[in-house]
Structure 1
């Protein structure tokens, strides 16, 4: 009898616990991530950059003045370096040290050199997901903590004048680097930079903790714009990106934890957001996912994709929360992509309250075989997505595109309250398990809750 009572009590307790869990929203975790972030603050000490020899006349060499100010500020325990209005010619990278906030006042412009030799010696970074030594990013930090770039000023990378055209002559070196990653060549032997044409990134904190980029305008990037790598506790807030060169992704957190991107306005030549975690063998070697990312209250105008995860996700991506986003223009609005060289996983992704105007390709796209690279067979796990309250006036090719593999189907995906006004192909679907369309309306008609397989149409690949 006592045993039966005990089992009944256990059953009731378990049922109660399950009910409590069912009532909890996944967005509670997003709130917890944001609340856990360090706000990245600094001691109340101020240094003025002009006191260190910088002149805002657009021609005086200012790199050395910034180096002096940053070193003194950091050595004295940290604080704020104020940059008054003016144009400061940066004849080399701005390199952060711990506990420094570089604050650009309204009208202040950091105008970066287009001379590649100014970005030597080469520094360690990642280029399209593979580690190497390359030209220094224009703004760089390596294993420091508590750093910030703030204010109402502007940083101008002048990428269109010199570096961006390297995109047309990089193929041999790009493949050389990828091969080094696939064959596990030691990183210290992956020396590029001088004599090579792999473009430097714009803003790249590498292995840093507590990073804040807030208020600034970023324009004309040589390559990826904001690219934190192996960082923890990153805040990108109220930032404007206006950059339209090749591969000008707006913000690409790569192998990072605890990231908040909010209140931003991006107009980009490539993906506005592209969450990454490294390429193939090189990412497997390190094994650091990108996780606990919140993106909210932003506007993303893009020549390519609005919000994207991939394709370099071989370290894994999980716990991603995206809400309250407008996408006035893009090719794909919400895009999850990988390929058969990547392996790993994209899971626990939550998206809500997205308004897209006209998209050229698809509103929502799941693509495990991006660009059809099938040199190996390591399909990525796509699991546990909830996408809700999404509207789109028009998609020019397909509304919803979901292309799993028979050997690795897409799993546990719910689209809820999705409306697409006009599109030639409502949806394509192959190889999925537990896929649900709840109140999904396309061309004025509600789709069945359980989608049936539909032939894949050939979409543009960008």
Structure 2
């Protein structure tokens, strides 16, 4: 039985019983013609790593044996490289074309915590050239590759990551300090080594600067934590059934790839893992994420395309992505786009997913300087529970923090900005059939004065939250059949400096103190229809120069 499919069928039935149906506009423009993802195909020829001298004793470093098996398999035209039952200690593994690395159910592929085994290489950080320690698993310019099997791949991430004292219990903190490393002067942060501290304190150390060699960065080598699995400019990729856990930084990072399938994969990172994203899909096209389970230290499913000018120069959007039947537990965001989205993102379809305990549910984030256009995003059949921040968030004031630490803060403007190539754009989002049981706020749409967020359409949504909705610096916004069951009803919905806002069939907490707060002299063309406003103590108030004619009731 497909539990996810059954669960979301029940969700659809429940919404239909409430009078909610699928959006005709979504049907017509999105779900009838989904992207096609080319599949991998491997020979059945199998090479067991035992043939190349590998030992499952948990002590022997099997780096050479595993890589020799992969190379031999590729040279023979491809096939399967088998990691059988046992604990296999290893250093970095480099994939080759036409090879399926198969990790057996009872196998633990354990990457060594000896950081000297990971040489510095020229890598990538948020779209910029960067020195990095070699990834535990990597592949570049490959075709037809796979990582499959029901075994476990562990990145020994704890020896790489810094961590704050407030993210550990007292006993965990004592044990960590006793293990070595360096504690900050204020006693609040543990660093893995003095080398890490040197990189942390060096301005822009993370970037590989022109004229600099990798050897120039050796003194701060530990600072350049590797992403766990990095696939660059590869085509036809399959990741299936494996558990990938405890990554030093991001866990799965496909970059500039095409035709990627990720099916029934489990990613497990500690909740306090620094930059412990589950998957960051960067400047890729034709991607299917299906039936996966993510428990992450940072964002869960994240779409990226480079940062600022470097991302715009690359000019490679992430596009043609299907994410369906996925579950995300602890993470900064369940499904996320940004904030590094300077190359753009488009034609993305998210359906039948569940988010439990994430900081934010649907999280779309950017900031001034990024540029890039995020558009044609389609979301339906989403279930959420116990969200710490906003259930649905569109934010152009991203400040680089998780919601638990404070999302980007909008401050009083001291400068007037003019839109240019560095101004990001969000437009044409369609969100349908969403239920959230528990969140700090239901909906936040926060654009920029110089660039409104445009074309956000929510339909058939139930949000049981503390606060309702805030719509700021936005245009062409539609909320149809949206139910705000919020505790804080002063007000339920705020509309600030926004226009062409259609509120149709809004439901809200019975006896709400104030239904609408209309704010800002640039707010106009708010239309409220099919909504019983009599259940609120006060219908609307006006603030900060808002005109009483800005809102109409039908």
After TM superposition, the score normalised by the length of structure 1 is 0.86
Instruction: Return the alpha-carbon distance in structure 2 between the equivalents of residues 334 and 343 of structure 1.
Output: 21
Q: How does 1:15-414 map to 2 (within 5 A)?
A: 24-30=28-34, 33=35, 36-90=36-90, 92-120=91-119, 122-165=120-163, 169=197, 171-173=200-202, 175-177=204-206, 185-186=209-210, 194-196=218-220, 197-244=223-270, 245-371=273-399, 378-396=422-440, 398-414=441-457
Instruction: Return the alpha-carbon distance in structure 2 between the equivalents of residues 106 and 115 of structure 1.
Output: 26
Give the superposition deviation at 1:128: 3.1
Residues 416-441 of structure 1: per-residue CA shift (max 9 Å, x gap): 11101232x20111111110001000
**Structure 2 residue aligned with 1:416:** 459
Residues 178-232 of structure 1: per-residue CA shift (max 9 Å, x gap): 5x6xxxx549757776332121110000111111111001111111001101111
Give the superposition deviation at 1:151: 0.2
**Structure 2 residue aligned with 1:8:** none
User: Which structure would you say has the larger Rg?
Assistant: 2
Contact 1:347 1:383 survives alignment (8 Å): yes
Q: How does 1:426-445 map to 2 (within 5 A)?
A: 426-443=468-485
Instruction: Return the alpha-carbon distance in structure 2 between the equivalents of residues 404 and 298 of structure 1.
Output: 29
Unaligned runs of 5+ in 1: 1-19, 457-462
Residues 214-253 of structure 1: per-residue CA shift (max 9 Å, x gap): 1001111111001101111111110011112111111110
RMSD: 2.6
Instruction: Return the alpha-carbon distance in structure 2 between the equivalents of residues 214 and 259 of structure 1.
Output: 13
Residues 381-420 of structure 1: per-residue CA shift (max 9 Å, x gap): 1010001111111112x21000111211111110011101
After TM superposition, the score normalised by the length of structure 2 is 0.72
Contact 1:428 1:455 survives alignment (8 Å): no
Instruction: Return the alpha-carbon distance in structure 2 between the equivalents of residues 155 and 195 of structure 1.
Output: 29
Residues 142-184 of structure 1: per-residue CA shift (max 9 Å, x gap): 1111111000100011101344555984544573435x6xxxx
Give the superposition deviation at 1:129: 3.1
Aligned residues: 424
| Cα distance change of structure 1 residues 383 and 115 upon mapping to structure 2, 3 Å threshold | same
Unaligned runs of 5+ in 2: 1-23, 164-190, 400-407, 494-500, 505-515, 521-554
Residues 4-51 of structure 1: per-residue CA shift (max 9 Å, x gap): xxxxxxxxxxxxxxxx99973401232xx1xx3222111121111111
Instruction: Return the alpha-carbon distance in structure 1 between the equivalents of residues 519 and 284 of structure 2.
Output: 37
Instruction: Return the alpha-carbon distance in structure 1 between the equivalents of residues 204 and 70 of structure 2.
Output: 37
Instruction: Return the alpha-carbon distance in structure 2 between the equivalents of residues 262 and 28 of structure 1.
Output: 18
Instruction: Return the alpha-carbon distance in structure 1 between the equivalents of residues 289 and 26 of structure 2.
Output: 28
SS at 2:71 equivalent: helix
| Cα distance change of structure 1 residues 275 and 60 upon mapping to structure 2, 3 Å threshold | same
| Cα distance change of structure 1 residues 269 and 23 upon mapping to structure 2, 3 Å threshold | closer
Contact 2:47 2:80 survives alignment (8 Å): yes
Residues 59-93 of structure 1: per-residue CA shift (max 9 Å, x gap): 11100001110111011100001111000000x21
Instruction: Return the alpha-carbon distance in structure 1 between the equivalents of residues 303 and 343 of structure 2.
Output: 11
Contact 1:337 1:368 survives alignment (8 Å): yes
SS at 2:298 equivalent: coil
| Cα distance change of structure 1 residues 258 and 192 upon mapping to structure 2, 3 Å threshold | farther
**Structure 2 residue aligned with 1:11:** none
Instruction: Return the alpha-carbon distance in structure 1 between the equivalents of residues 162 and 387 of structure 2.
Output: 26
Instruction: Return the alpha-carbon distance in structure 1 between the equivalents of residues 471 and 324 of structure 2.
Output: 29
Instruction: Return the alpha-carbon distance in structure 2 between the equivalents of residues 288 and 409 of structure 1.
Output: 24
Instruction: Return the alpha-carbon distance in structure 1 between the equivalents of residues 211 and 292 of structure 2.
Output: 34
Instruction: Return the alpha-carbon distance in structure 1 between the equivalents of residues 26 and 112 of structure 2.
Output: 55
**Structure 2 residue aligned with 1:10:** none
| Cα distance change of structure 1 residues 54 and 332 upon mapping to structure 2, 3 Å threshold | same
Instruction: Return the alpha-carbon distance in structure 1 between the equivalents of residues 37 and 241 of structure 2.
Output: 18
